[in-house]
């Protein structure tokens, strides 16, 4: 029999913020590998458009408007996903917001709390509900699962004028390692991905700046912006049996920027 570790037929993957950017890039690759998809987003029109795009690839697709900073919405969304799909095998906590690019001394408590609510609380709520489901499945004789969080290169590098965002992205690394150790007995893996400069809506202003291009993107050894599709292969790997012994790790996807 041919080695087919990346065939995700029969698997269900849930992607928060799966209606655009890195999340949609990963969702498309997962669908192409045979997985059924659940995508959450906060914008109804954008989420519906992403659902149609994924349905065109094939397989079942369920979309839902979910504010991940609302624990009740996350719990209801996970329950709905399991009821509709039968199980959820991979959960990618990708939803996030950026800071306002303010000097640290001028950052308001309100803006700080908003970033924490989505980027940190949202991951906590999402992973907690996913773990509850995966533990129940394991106890019922169906162990296994993959949890993935989208962190950021800013978690390990100095991020001036973006300290609230960077703080959340560093915090989820610690959360992921703890989840990985605690839930390995249930066959559940947890890993993090740290993107560098990726061309998404979040970086729209920077993409339109020649100064930013000259000072930052020219320093990327790969000599380009990263694209959402650059994360597809890693998403499929982490959702597949090929990564069954790979947990508690962090993957940097930045075109070499962090080491240059």
- Whether 3 is a known active-site residue: answer no
The DSSP 8-state label assigned to residue 173 in this structure reads: H
Catalytic residue among 3, 112, 165, 257: 165
Sheet of 12-16: strands edge to edge? 61-65, 36-41, 12-16, 90-93, 145-150, 188-195, 250-253
H or E element: which one contains 214?
helix 210-215
Residues forming a β-bridge with 226:
198
Residues forming a β-bridge with 211:
none
- Would you say 150 and 22 are in contact if contact means Cβ atoms under 8 Å apart? yes
User: How is residue 37 written in tokens?
Assistant: 């998809």
- Would you say 242 and 5 are in contact if contact means Cβ atoms under 8 Å apart? yes
Q: Is 86 left (phi over 0), alpha (psi -120 to 50) or beta?
A: left
Name the residues annotated as catalytic: 165
């Amino acid at each position: 029999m041919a080695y087919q570790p990346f065939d995700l037929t029969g698997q269900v993957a849930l992607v928060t913020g799966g209606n655009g950017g890195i999340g949609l890039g990963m969702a498309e690759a997962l669908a192409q590998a045979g997985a059924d998809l659940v995508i959450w987003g906060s914008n109804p029109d954008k989420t519906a458009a992403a659902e149609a795009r994924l349905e065109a690839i094939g397989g079942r697709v369920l979309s839902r408007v979910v504010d991940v900073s609302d624990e009740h919405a996350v719990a209801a969304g996970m329950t709905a996903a399991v009821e509709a799909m039968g199980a959820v095998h991979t959960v990618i906590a990708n939803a996030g917001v950026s800071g306002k690019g303010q000097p640290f001394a001028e950052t308001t408590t309100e803006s700080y709390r908003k970033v924490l609510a989505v980027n940190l609380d949202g991951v906590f709520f999402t992973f907690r509900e996913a773990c509850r489901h995966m533990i129940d499945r394991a106890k019922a004789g169906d162990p296994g699962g993959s949890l993935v969080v989208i962190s950021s290169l800013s978690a390990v590098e100095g991020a001036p004028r973006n300290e609230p965002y960077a703080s959340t992205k560093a915090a989820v690394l610690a959360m992921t390692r703890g989840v990985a150790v605690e839930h390995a007995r249930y066959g559940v893996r947890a890993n993090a991905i740290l993107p560098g400069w990726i061309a998404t809506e979040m970086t729209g202003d920077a993409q339109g700046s020649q100064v930013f291009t000259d000072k930052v993107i020219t320093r990327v050894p790969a000599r380009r912006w990263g694209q959402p599709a650059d994360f597809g292969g890693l998403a499929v790997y982490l959702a597949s049996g090929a990564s069954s012994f790979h947990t508690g790790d962090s993957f940097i996807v930045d075109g070499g920027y962090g080491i240059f």
